[in-house]
Chains A and B, each alone.
Chain A
Amino acid sequence: MNKEQLFEAIGEVDDSLVEQAAVKQRRKGRIFHFRPAAWVAAAACCLVVGTAILGLPKKGMGAAGADTASNATASSAQEAGGAGPEYAMDMVTEDAAPGAAVMGESAQNSTAKLAEVTTQKVIYTAELEMESTEYEETLAQLLAKVEEMGGYQESSTQGGSLEYGTRWYNASFRIPSDRYEEFLSSAQGVGNVTWLSQDSQDVTLEYVDLEARISSLETQRQRLDELAAQAETVEDLIYIQGQLSSLEYQLESYGSQMRVLENQVSMSTVTVRLSEVATITPVTNSFASRVSDAFTRGWTGFLDGIQGLILGIISVWPVLLLAAVLVVVIITIRKKRISKNNK
């Protein structure tokens, strides 16, 4: 038998069989073909998208665990009382004969005054770097603490992106010195401190020095006032007035220097840098905690990646739409061509 004969033989099969084959089989229920691979892929996509949407509701698009620079704990640099800048011994005058006698006396007075001073004058400054996953809350708490201690905010800068979770806040606070330590410890409770630098400057000598000069100048002024009252000639009077005015100028200068010192001493300065992070820098060094941290970071990073991918795909939706339209058009043309060929 050859193939044509077989073909002919097939033609001779029972009529009933041939008729049966003419009835279109209606598949109940199934509208499209069951393709396991496609279903698995679709399920996987849904799972991924679902976890991405549910995963990080507040974090936005942070980079995986923004590591703030160092893990170092507080490094306190206690600098013992710095030597103050040299004050030019800018005494009133060198040439006035009547003045010289006055000088001698007031110098004596000021040394006496020096012996009286016992309290230390120290300027405290600190720099704090903090990170937090709950940026807004931490910031609010921090500012509240500042107010609580009776301090105020001197300056601030802030910036960063909410979308990427990289907000930051730099500020310098003035805290009353007696509550300085208290503030530092409470700040550590508010967020995760990654860097702490403390500095103290002993300005007692400068302060005392200034005090001494001021009081000696005061004494001089008194003397000059007395002399002015006793002055007989107009020339003398003019001369004395000249001395007085330059003296007063000096007094003002020292006075303002002292005020600056006093301000620095009474209100210590704390500079705070707060950054928003997705995950906190680990505090302990145990292997277990590092392992769990690695897991957390991995998961966070993965979710961020997925979110990024989805957003990226969505952001090019016009291109995708065009591509889809093109594909449909091409498929339709091909189908028409195939059916035309078959006819």
Chain B
Amino acid sequence: MDDNAILDLYFARDERGLTGAAAKYGGYCSAIAMNLLGKVQDAEECVNDTWLGSWRAIPPTRPLNLRVYLGRLCRNLALNRLRYSSAQKRGGGTALLEELEECLSGGQTPDQAFDAKETGAAISRFLEGCDPTARTLFLRRYWYGESVADAARFCGVPVGTAKSTLSRTRTKLKEALEKEGVCV
């Protein structure tokens, strides 16, 4: 089903839009949720929340890229679960977050408000400056939540190479963020 058709159905408040989205992007979102959460039930709940969330948000928003929008939504919902539930230790998400800790300089400024979109834009600029393999590896690990082994296989590099590339990318990201003044 065409994305536009699905969105039209959403806008018409026709539930077939939901089923269409679920049919087309169900696997995609499930994969992301599983990567981050690890447990099947939690992943399923997360995906269901995604559909709910999308139903609420889509009119008025009309995402240009439905796929990425749904993925992002699912991802953030998974993050919430990770944040507020300590029982999520099994999924790959916690390890992932620990890795991301490296990108932070550790200084705490309680006053500085956190703007996800702006930071995201800064990260985008940084990623564009990276070489394609590093970029893909980074996103597959930290956006799609894949394990390092799966990401390495996806990119066709050995696991060791993938690990070192990711490490280097994280260091470079930290420098970039500091330069942009985003994280202190």
A21 and B135 contact, CB distance less than 8 A = yes
B: contact size bracket: 35 or more
Query: Considering the chains assembled together, what is the distance between the CA atoms of A2 and B140 in angstroms?
Result: 21
Quote the shortest CB–CB distance from A30 to chain B (angstroms): 8
B107 (CB) vs chain A CBs: closest residue: A1
A9 and B116 contact, CB distance less than 8 A = yes
Q: Which residues of B contact A (CB under 8 A)?
A: 34, 40, 64-65, 67-69, 71-72, 75-76, 79, 82-83, 96-98, 100-101, 103-104, 114, 116-117, 119-121, 123-124, 127-128, 132-133, 135-136, 139-140, 142-144, 147, 150, 154-158, 182-183
- In the complex, chain A residues whose CB is within 8 Å of the CB of B136: 20-21, 25
Q: Which residues of A contact B (CB under 8 A)?
A: 1-15, 17-21, 24-27, 30, 33, 35, 342-343
A4 and B83 contact, CB distance less than 8 A = yes
- In the complex, chain A residues whose CB is within 8 Å of the CB of B114: 1, 5, 9
Interchain residue pairs A-B with the least CB separation, the first 10: A12-B120, A9-B119, A21-B139, A15-B65, A15-B68, A27-B156, A13-B124, A14-B124, A3-B97, A3-B100
**Of residues A1, A26, A30, which shows the largest number of chain B Cβ atoms within 10 Å of its Cβ?**
A1
- In the complex, chain A residues whose CB is within 8 Å of the CB of B182: 1
20 sampled A-B residue pairs with Cβ under 8 A: A3-B97, A6-B100, A6-B183, A8-B76, A9-B114, A9-B120, A10-B143, A11-B72, A11-B79, A11-B116, A11-B143, A12-B72, A12-B116, A12-B117, A12-B121, A13-B123, A18-B72, A19-B65, A19-B68, A21-B139
B101 and A25 contact, CB distance less than 8 A = no
Given known pairs A8-B79, A25-B132, the reply for A19 and B147 (CB within 8 Å) is no
Supply 6 further A-B pairs (C-beta < 8 A) apart from A12-B119, A17-B139, A18-B72. Answer: A7-B79, A7-B96, A13-B127, A17-B128, A21-B140, A26-B156
Q: Which of A5, A14, A26 contacts B116 (CB 8 A)?
A: A5
- In the complex, chain A residues whose CB is within 8 Å of the CB of B67: 19
Q: Which of A1, A3, A18, A343 contacts B139 (CB 8 A)?
A: A18
Query: Considering the chains assembled together, what is the distance between the CA atoms of A25 and B75 in angstroms?
Result: 23
Given known pairs A17-B124, A18-B71, the reply for A6 and B104 (CB within 8 Å) is yes
- In the complex, chain B residues whose CB is within 8 Å of the CB of A33: 157-158
Quote the shortest CB–CB distance from A224 to chain B (angstroms): 114
- In the complex, chain B residues whose CB is within 8 Å of the CB of A35: 158
Query: Considering the chains assembled together, what is the distance between the CA atoms of A52 and B133 in angstroms?
Result: 44
- In the complex, chain A residues whose CB is within 8 Å of the CB of B150: 342
A13 and B120 contact, CB distance less than 8 A = yes
A18 and B83 contact, CB distance less than 8 A = no
Quote the shortest CB–CB distance from A337 to chain B (angstroms): 14
B140 (CB) vs chain A CBs: closest residue: A21
Given known pairs A1-B104, A21-B139, A25-B136, the reply for A9 and B123 (CB within 8 Å) is yes
- In the complex, chain B residues whose CB is within 8 Å of the CB of A21: 135-136, 139-140, 143-144
Quote the shortest CB–CB distance from A206 to chain B (angstroms): 93
Quote the shortest CB–CB distance from B72 to chain A (angstroms): 5
A2 and B121 contact, CB distance less than 8 A = no
Q: Which of B101, B120, B133 contacts A3 (CB 8 A)?
A: B101
- In the complex, chain A residues whose CB is within 8 Å of the CB of B132: 25
B93 (CB) vs chain A CBs: closest residue: A7
Query: Considering the chains assembled together, what is the distance between the CA atoms of A11 and B50 in angstroms?
Result: 15
Query: Considering the chains assembled together, what is the distance between the CA atoms of A9 and B122 in angstroms?
Result: 9
A6 (CB) vs chain B CBs: closest residue: B100
- In the complex, chain A residues whose CB is within 8 Å of the CB of B128: 17
- In the complex, chain A residues whose CB is within 8 Å of the CB of B157: 33
Given known pairs A1-B104, A18-B143, the reply for A25 and B155 (CB within 8 Å) is yes
B120 (CB) vs chain A CBs: closest residue: A12
Quote the shortest CB–CB distance from A105 to chain B (angstroms): 116
Quote the shortest CB–CB distance from B173 to chain A (angstroms): 9
B103 and A6 contact, CB distance less than 8 A = yes
Query: Considering the chains assembled together, what is the distance between the CA atoms of A19 and B66 in angstroms?
Result: 11
Q: Which of B68, B82, B117 contacts A4 (CB 8 A)?
A: B82
B121 (CB) vs chain A CBs: closest residue: A12
Query: Considering the chains assembled together, what is the distance between the CA atoms of A57 and B29 in angstroms?
Result: 66
Query: Considering the chains assembled together, what is the distance between the CA atoms of A332 and B182 in angstroms?
Result: 47
Query: Considering the chains assembled together, what is the distance between the CA atoms of A17 and B65 in angstroms?
Result: 12
A4 and B79 contact, CB distance less than 8 A = yes
A31 (CB) vs chain B CBs: closest residue: B156
A338 (CB) vs chain B CBs: closest residue: B149
Quote the shortest CB–CB distance from B113 to chain A (angstroms): 10
Quote the shortest CB–CB distance from A9 to chain B (angstroms): 4
Query: Considering the chains assembled together, what is the distance between the CA atoms of A27 and B153 in angstroms?
Result: 11
**Of residues A2, A13, A14, A35, which shows the largest number of chain B Cβ atoms within 10 Å of its Cβ?**
A13
